[in-house]
């Protein structure tokens, strides 16, 4: 059974909600906490949602080889997966999920071909735009950039091992769990 599951998909598709649902119902599954140079959103906690670091700290992590993969996402901030927790989880035979972007997913597959890559897709393009606007956390300019990235990401779904449509959170989470345990 593959221990490493990479979950990617366009902005506002509901990846975070699906992942939270999985963790709530399966506390034995671990989630990789990424490092990022972006500012925390209201309610986000350092060390819980992300490790919020400065640009210099992030570059230091790269230099020391502490990141399994990293990428500049939405043309702005750096995001990366700390290597140690992933290697530890695999060594301890624990399931671990990485919720990262398309570039990161490609890099992980290259570094660890046994990784299971799952793409979460929206029911439709229109629905994706609606969910993003509804979230209300991004400015119109940020929304435009995110939709541009989303177009590129949707075009790459064939590179993934599996595609799961997020119509309903519980159903999507179960589909992902089934794939993790297959």
Q: How far is the CB of 171 from ligand 5GP (least distance, A)?
A: 21
Q: How far is the CB of 123 from ligand 5GP (least distance, A)?
A: 18
Toward ligand 5GP, which CB reaches closer, 26 or 38?
A: 38
Three-state DSSP class for 8? strand
Please provide residue 43's backbone torsions phi and psi, each rounded to the nearest 5 degrees: 90, -15
Q: How far is the CB of 161 from ligand 5GP (least distance, A)?
A: 17
Q: In what order do the strands lie in the sheet with 116-121?
A: 30-31, 96-99, 4-8, 116-121, 162-165
User: Is 98 within 8 Å of 108 (Cβ atoms)?
Assistant: yes
* Gap between the Cα atoms of 30 and 117, Å rounded: 16
Toward ligand 5GP, which CB reaches closer, 38 or 131?
A: 38
Q: Judge residue 23's burial from the number of C-beta atoms within 10 Å of its C-beta, 0-12 exposed, 13-18 middle, 19 or more buried.
A: middle
Give the binding site for ligand 5GP (CB under 6 A).
34, 38, 69, 71, 73, 79-81, 99-101, 103-104
The H or E element containing residue 38 is: none
Q: Which residue minimizes CB distance to ligand 5GP?
A: 104
Toward ligand 5GP, which CB reaches closer, 1 or 146?
A: 146
Toward ligand 5GP, which CB reaches closer, 120 or 177?
A: 120
Q: How far is the CB of 84 from ligand 5GP (least distance, A)?
A: 13
Q: How far is the CB of 142 from ligand 5GP (least distance, A)?
A: 10
Tokens of 42: 């209201």
Toward ligand 5GP, which CB reaches closer, 81 or 116?
A: 81
């Amino acid at each position: 059974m593959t221990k490493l599951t990479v979950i990617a998909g366009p902005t506002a598709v509901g990846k975070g909600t699906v992942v939270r649902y999985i963790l709530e119902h399966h506390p034995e599954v671990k989630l990789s906490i990424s490092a990022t140079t972006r500012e925390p959103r209201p309610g986000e906690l350092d060390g819980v949602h992300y490790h919020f670091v400065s640009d210099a700290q992030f570059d230091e992590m790269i230099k020391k080889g502490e990141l399994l993969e990293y990428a500049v996402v939405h043309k702005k901030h750096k995001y990366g997966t700390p290597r140690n927790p992933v290697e530890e989880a695999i060594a301890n035979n624990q399931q671990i999920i990485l919720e990262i972007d398309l570039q990161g997913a490609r890099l992980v597959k290259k570094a660890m071909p046994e990784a299971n890559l799952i793409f979460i897709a929206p029911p439709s393009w229109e629905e994706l735009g609606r969910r993003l606007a509804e979230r209300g956390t991004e400015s119109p300019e940020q929304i435009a950039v995110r939709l541009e990235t989303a177009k590129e990401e949707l075009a790459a779904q064939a590179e993934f091992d599996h595609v799961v449509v997020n119509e309903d959170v519980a159903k999507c989470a179960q589909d992902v769990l089934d794939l993790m345990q297959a």
